Structures are given as structure tokens and as C-alpha cells.
Structure 1
């Protein structure tokens, strides 16, 4: 990227292209949200890369749920290749056979303390927002509060998971009157993060 005087930081697409040009890779693999591939930034980068990478695969949409995860995470992938041989050898990955896990299998042991909140209060807040904002009015609440013993599918867990949102999934208590967030350790199990991995203290602090 140079010393900053070349202007690459003012144009990240140009900067990205310069890095790729210098590295001279045989294959370039992109991963991003589906909407990225319709953006001007991506289309500009595609135009720059095409002369040297004439073989393009994708974008290919893949959802982690289709590959065994309990939580949805939709991403799109694109592969740029220099050589026709590599292009002809490429195969789109197919989902393996697997057993669907229930949410209960990822939860903390019984006796673990959690902060529970009122389902009624949540829906009162949701109804108020729906009256004020048409975007909220159209949102489904089917997968927001889930029963750990029957749930095999969660909505996407975004960075803003600790917010109150119809896009999130929360754990429902036995009588269906209270809910709670998934804990850090529960999210660790859902995402298959290895036990030896330690989260930085500032991340743990932001999840409480």
C-alpha cells in the first residue's frame, strides 16, 4: 500500500487490485454478503481483474444452515482463476449428510445463572415499533423465541445480537413467559469455536 501517499486508501478497490497484482496469485477467492456482488465497488474490481483472470465462478450462495449449522449465515463466494485447467477442475461444494442438532445440546449446564426478561414486554415494544415503522410491521416473529427442546433452526446471529430485534433468536423458558440471550459459551458451541480459544476481555465485556 506504500507510505499512504499513493492514494490507495482513498480508493480501496484500486488498493485491493494493486495488492493482488503484486501477489500474482493463481486463484482469487472472494467471500462476502450476497449484496456485495451487485455493488459498484465489486463490479469495478471485476473489470480490473478479468483480463488476468478470465475464468470466473460465481457468485455462489451458501448458507451455513444447509451444511449442518443450527444458525443461518448466508454468504456468497466468487472464484477468479487464471488457468482453464483450474476452472475445469472446480466443483461447487455439496452439503453433506448430517444430523440436525437441537438447541438444547448447545446450552449451558443446568444451574448456570442467566438474566431473563419478559416476553410480554418484548412484544409490547415490538408492537409499538411496528406502529411507528412499516419495516417492523412486516417482520415475522416465528423464530424469535425458541424452545430449546424442539428448536433446530436459529435466525442469523448478527454482530448486534445483544440488541432487541425481530432478526434475532432468543431462548424461551419452560412456561414461555420469559426469554434470554444466548450466552458467550453457548455461541461458542454453536459456532464450533475450540475450547482452548480465549476471547479478549473487551469482547467478553461487551456481551454482558
Structure 2
């Protein structure tokens, strides 16, 4: 049964150019030395600490700034990020609201029984009994990751949990959903 290591909570797409995955959002400066407090958008926030290169963007379609030689640490449910050259609170204030991105190519390979949620984007979705649902268009966060599946005017919100994902292929995801879920979340 598939699992996942990292989830992409961005509501719009898997990155500014499609080759990135959202790691988190800068929520405020941390202290007076220019550190940034990051609200992680991953299932395993401490995974951010292993990366030494990330990209920052003011908005989904905005220009990205490459940040190399970063340092990160976990602080409760947040990540504290140090960027070279960002050494005071005033500089850190400029990044509030910016998003933290990682190139998909920098992600560790998923194990045979795992899948990254962002990899479900743009796949056709159907149920185990053959019902065609549409295409996975978005991932919504907010505590429980949800797949947004659209087909024309129809839209379904499906919790992105292991128990509901029967299989993932190159172009398709097969869902094993409890009775009534689609009607309740359409």
C-alpha cells in the first residue's frame, strides 16, 4: 500500500515552474539575527533540516531566489531557517509570506511502498470499482491533506490518506473510498 514522505500543501500547483515542491512558508522573523520562522508544509518537518539549498519566492508565479548553504533546525512545530546574508531582523522581515521551495530533483527517491503527494498532480483518478472521477488538480492543506479532483464542473475532495489510495500508476491513481464519501465531498 502506498505511503508518502513529504506532502505538498500548496493550493495552486507543484511549484512556480512545475519542477519544485513546496516545503513551507515564512511566517515571521525569529530573534534579532535574521533567522526566519517557517511553517512547514511537509509531513516530516525535520526533513527540511537535511537540505542545504532551497529557493524562496514571494508568490507562486514570482521570481525565485536560490539560497545555498542554509542551516535549519526544528523548534516545536516550526522550522528556524538561517540564510547567508540575512543577518538582522529588518532583512528577515522582508521575507514574511514568502514560500520555501525545493527542486523535485533534490528529493530523496521514494521507496517502493511510498509516493510523494505532489506526484499525484495531473493524474487521472478512478475508484477501485472503475468509476472515473477526473484529474487530480490541487492539494489542499489545513491539517488534513486533501486531493482536489476535477472533471468539468464536478469537483471531489478526497482525504489524502494511505487507506484510500489503492494504487498509483504512471498516469492514474486508483482510490478505494468508503461508501458515501464522494457524495459528501463533492
Verify same fold: TM over 0.5: no
Output the TM-score relative to the length of structure 1. 0.22
Specify which structure has the bigger relative contact order, considering alpha-carbon pairs within 8 angstroms and separated by 6 or more residues.
2
By percentage of residues, which structure has more helix?
1
User: Which protein is bigger by CA-based radius of gyration?
Assistant: 1
By percentage of residues, which structure has more strand?
2
